[in-house]
Amino acid sequence: MGLPLDGIRIIELSRVLTGSYCTMLLGDMGAEIIKVDQPIKPGTPIWGGGWLPVGEDKRKEAAETALQRNKKSIAIDLSNEKGKDIFYKLAKNCDVILECYRPGVTKRLKIDYTTIKEINPALIYCSITGYGQDGPYATIPGHDINYISTAGVLGLIGPDSNKPVIPLNLIGDFAGGAVQAALGITLAIIARQKSGLGQYIDISMTDGSISLISFILDQYFKNGINPKRGETLLAGIAPMYNLYKTADSKYISIGCLEPALWANLCKALNKEDFIVKEWDTTQWAYMVKEFESIFITKTRDEWFDELSNKDIAISKVYDLDEAINDRHVLARNMILNLYHDEFGLIRQPGISIKLSETPGCIRSYGPICGEHTAEILKELGYNNDELTKMKEEGVVA
C-alpha cells in the first residue's frame, strides 16, 4: 500500500512559514511538492522562513530544513511572459496550487484561480492570507501577532496584571493557517474524487484563529461574560491547571481538571481538605499559594518521579534541548536521526500524523533554490538550448 497522497502533485507559491509547513505535512504523506521561487542571485538578502537557501554552498542548510523536505524546487520569474508560460504548463498537470500572496497579487501576475481554472478545470487552488480574500481588512499587511489580535486570541493569553503574552507564531501561522489549509486541501481532493470538479479554497489565518477558540466563544455566547486575560479556567488562575516553580527554579505543570485526578493530587500533597473545594473559585488563590509553598520544596524531576505514577496529570516544563531528548518524545519517533550521504547526521522533527497502514515518510531533503529547474523543464518538454537561453535571460534559475 502506497502513501495516502501518492499521485497528487502540488505547486507551492510561498515565501512564508505558513505555506511551507502546510506543504510539508502534505509532502510527508506522499504528495509531490514543486516549490516555485523567483530567481535570485547567491548572497542576495532575503527575509522570511519560507525561502529556500540559494547557492551550492547552502546544500547542508537546505538538507537541515525540515519545512522544505520532500520537495522539488524550480525558480521562475513569474513577471516574465516566458516564465508565465512555464507556470501554465506546470499548472495544467498539477492537482493543487497553494499560494500565500496578498489578495490581488496572483490576479496581477495572471496566475489566479480564474485564469488557471481555464487551463485545468479540475484544479484545487488554495490561498492562505491573513484576513481572507474579502472584508475590510483583506489588503492590510500583517503577521501572526496581528491575526491573533484581531481574532481575540492574543488578548486572552497571559496573566491579568501584565500585557498579553505572544505565543510565538504557533496559533495564526501554523494552527490557524497551515493546518487549516492542509485540511481544506485534503477535503477538496476527496470532494473532487466524487464530483470530478476542482474548487477554490480561501484560508484566513484570522478565521482559523477564531475557530481555535470555539470553546471559549461557546461560553461567552451562553453567559455573555467577556473573559478576561488570566481569569479563565485554563489561563493559570485555577490550582488544578497551573504551573508551579520548584526548588531548582524550574517548573512543573499540573492539569488535574477531572475530579478523580484532582483528588489524587490533593491526597499526594496531604491536602485532602482541598478535594471538595475544587470548583470553589473563592478558594482558588489560597490553594494556589499553598501548592506553591509545597512544590518549591523539591526539584522538578523529583516531583515528576514522585507524582507521575499516582494517576496525576503532571509534566515537566522543558527547555527545547530537554524536550528533544525526552524518552517519550524519542519513543514516538518525533525526533529523527537521518543520514545524509554527504553531510552525515541530520536531525529533524518526526511525522506527527501516525497512520497504521500508510504512514508518512521522508523521501528527500530540502532542496536549494532552483535545484530541480532543469529536471522539471525537461519533463515539460523544453530542450537544453531553450533551458540555457532562459537561464541567460533570467527567466529561470
Residue 283 CB: number of other CB atoms within 10 A? 15
The average pLDDT across 383-396 equals 95
Q: What is the pLDDT of residue 41?
A: 75
What DSSP line would sit under 161-221, residue for residue? TSPPPP-TTIIIIIIIIIIHHHHHHHHHHHHHHHH---EEEEEEHHHHHHHHTHHHHHHHH
Q: What is the pLDDT of residue 160?
A: 81
What does CATH list as the number for 233-245+251-316? 3.30.1540.10
Assign 62 to helix, strand or coil: helix
Q: What is the pLDDT of residue 250?
A: 98
The residue type of 84 is K
Give the integer Cα–Cα distance in Å for 373 and 390.
Answer: 11
Q: Which residue, among 178, 155, 150, has the nearest Cα to 24 in the 3D structure?
A: 178
pLDDT digits (tens, 9 = 90+) for 35-92: 999 998 776 777 667 889 999 999 999 999 999 999 999 999 999 999 999 999 999 9
Assign 244 to helix, strand or coil: strand
Q: What is the pLDDT of residue 278?
A: 97
pLDDT digits (tens, 9 = 90+) for 298-310: 999 999 999 999 9
**The two domains 9-211+347-393 and 233-245+251-316 share their CATH topology (first three levels equal):** no
Whether the Cβ atoms of residue 43 and residue 369 lie closer than 8 Å to each other: no
What does CATH list as the number for 9-211+347-393? 3.40.50.10540
Q: Which residue, among 326, 318, 317, has the nearest Cα to 350 in the 3D structure?
A: 326
Domain ranges of the chain: 9-211+347-393, 233-245+251-316
